Amino acid sequence: MTEDKKPMNGDVRVADVSIAHLSRGLYRSTAAAFKELVNNAWDADAKEVHIYTNFPEFDYISCSDNGPGMPEEKFRDYFAEKGIGFGDKRIGHRNVTDEFKRPIIGRLGIGMLAIGQLCYSFGIESHYIGKDRKGHAYKADIDLIDMDVPDIDESISKEKKEQIKVGNWRIVRVPYDDKKQGFQIYTSDVRETFRREMKEKITEEDKTLMSFNITKLHEDFYSNITRSIREMGAYLETIWELCILCPIPYADDEKIPFNNKAFSSTYKDQEYKQAKRFVNKKQEQLKNYNFKVFFDGIELKRYFQLPTIKGTVPRLFFVNYNGKVANKNLSYSGYIYGQSEAIRPFELGGIQIRLRNVGIGGYDHTFLKYDKKIETIRNRWVSGEIFVEDGLEVALNIDRDSFNEHDEHYKKVQDDLHSKLDIVFREVENSAAEVRKEKREEREIEAKKETWEVLNKNTYGKIKIYEKELGENRQIIVYDKINKRLVLNTSIRPIKRKKADNLIKYITLVYYISKYLYSTQKERDENFYHLIKEIMRKLI
């Protein structure tokens, strides 16, 4: 291809009317749109992809990678001749990338439309080595147009299928620069809704604290979240969600994603060990794919640590399946984690399905519509990731954020998960009950100790008090006149409820202390009410 700086232009076309409709807005969030651009870089065997939003003005967006670039002929196929939606990444049963053998994510070839959700027009610059082994480059401008898209039902009924125009393109060849090797998509024509949303909740103090290190970012912002990432505003939510969705490793920390020391040594059973081995193996695999994602200079990592609350009792379970469903291969592995407290932030609760290492739609708080415990507070105690290595793709809806729930592969994953959750919730509930019992017993011991300290202090050494089993045929309080001591008979339980039973015993003991300690009724009454208030503070 000879260098020619003369601009060429044409219409941007899509291969199907349904994709024309989707070009108006396909992705549920800003992060989901950026994720599609990241996926394209992954499929292109790029080592790095950099996203910039010009924080804190958000008036410019760019996404660049150092992959092989998009040849001009492919650009023409994509935007004009074959149309957006004519995906060719999997042609010839190609399933992994050439250099790093990454599982190919893209199928339909619509990911580049993602930026159209954030702007009205955008540019492309590509520097690549052509089939002639020479360097080539071009720049292109794409204008998306707001126009009426044909009715889907009407289009389906037509015998002759027509490509749908959704914009215009202009392309000009430029000198190749090996320093710019790769692909860049950019825009300064951003939607005002994007700018307004990203600026929301960013204070001047936030701007000074904003760090270009993911660990520091968590220390200054995410670790302070009491409930939901949304509390932090759209910008920080976008960064966090990209960390969760992108095909990237966990942070390089021995406590990520699990703090091993939080698990009881007696609990570390076979399932725990299988889950740990799986996560370690997955981490090494993701590192070997040699792929990094940067957002406004921040290298993204999956940075979360379970348990999320100190002192909780954690449980870890392994999920695994490898076989055929509906005569097609299905293979997945993962973990389910549970703790006896609500997981924070809220967005980590549920199950994250990862298809070819990419998060689909974030964590599903319904656990793929698990109905047995989902309405209780306990569903906030469980989190997990399931990595699907083979299968389930046909169940993926076009937005790559949800599944066709009637697909056989989806049903298998759903049934398998739900049967596992029956065990998970039971064990987590048992752990929570044990924790509650231990805490209750600790509180009772401490309350009893403090109560007896108050009682002994207020007898001024004139009367000694003890507790002892004297038999049910004796009184609750026995007074020894010779030794001047009161004995609380622990054999008697006036009410078969521990807290109420203790309260009655202590009130009775206070009555007898006042009776034998003071000679006048006034002194007895004053001491009785004083001691009652003191022990109530300890017991209630």
Number of structural domains in the chain: 3
What does the pLDDT read at residue 238?
A: 95
What does the pLDDT read at residue 94?
A: 75
Q: Is residue 245 part of a domain?
A: no
Q: Is residue 497 part of a domain?
A: yes
Lateral strand order in the sheet of 382-390: 315-325, 328-338, 382-390, 350-355, 358-359
Q: How far is CA 71 from the centre of its chain?
A: 37
Q: Tens digit of pLDDT per residue, the chain (540 long)? A: 455 666 777 666 655 544 554 455 567 789 999 999 999 999 999 999 999 999 999 999 999 999 999 999 988 887 776 666 555 565 656 789 999 999 998 765 677 778 888 998 999 999 999 999 999 999 999 988 754 444 434 433 344 445 566 778 899 999 999 999 999 999 999 999 999 999 988 888 888 888 778 888 888 888 878 789 988 899 999 999 999 999 999 998 888 999 988 998 878 889 999 999 999 999 999 999 999 999 999 999 999 999 988 878 899 999 999 999 999 999 999 999 999 888 989 999 999 999 999 999 899 999 999 877 555 667 789 999 999 999 998 898 877 788 999 999 999 999 999 999 989 988 888 887 877 787 888 888 888 888 888 888 888 888 888 888 888 888 888 888 888 889 888 888 887 787 888 888 888 888 988 888 888 999 888 989 988 888 888 877
Instruction: Kindly report each contact of residues 497-502 with a partner whose C-beta sits within 8 Å and lies 24 or more positions away, as own/partner.
Output: 498/444, 499/539, 502/444, 502/448, 502/539
Q: Is residue 425 part of a domain?
A: yes
What does the pLDDT read at residue 443?
A: 84
The model carries a pTM of 0.78
- Residue 274 burial class via C-beta count within 10 angstroms: exposed 0-12, middle 13-18, buried 19 and up: middle
Tokens 């071009």 belong to 138
Full residue range of the structural domain in which residue 163 is found: 8-191
Same domain, 186 and 277: no
* Pairing state between β 315-325 and 298-299: unpaired
DSSP letters along 177-223, please? -GGG-EEEEEES-B-HHHHHHHHTT--HHHHHH--SSHHHHHHHTGG
What does the pLDDT read at residue 374?
A: 56
What does the pLDDT read at residue 240?
A: 94
| DSSP type of residue 78 | I
Tokens 């503070």 belong to 537
As given in the structure block, the two tokens for residue 540 are: 């209630």
* Pairing state between β 485-489 and 477-480: antiparallel
**Rounded Cα distance, 50 and 41, in Å:** 10
What's the CATH number where 402 sits?
3.30.230
Q: Is residue 252 part of a domain?
A: no
- Domain boundary among the residues 144, 171, 191 is at 191
As given in the structure block, the two tokens for residue 294 are: 């940067």
Same domain, 157 and 277: no
Same domain, 265 and 389: yes
Q: Are 463 and 516 in contact (CB under 8 A)?
A: yes
Query: String of b and e for 356-387 (b: at least 16 CB within 10 Å)?
Result: bbbbbbbbbeebbebeebeeeebbbbbbbbbb
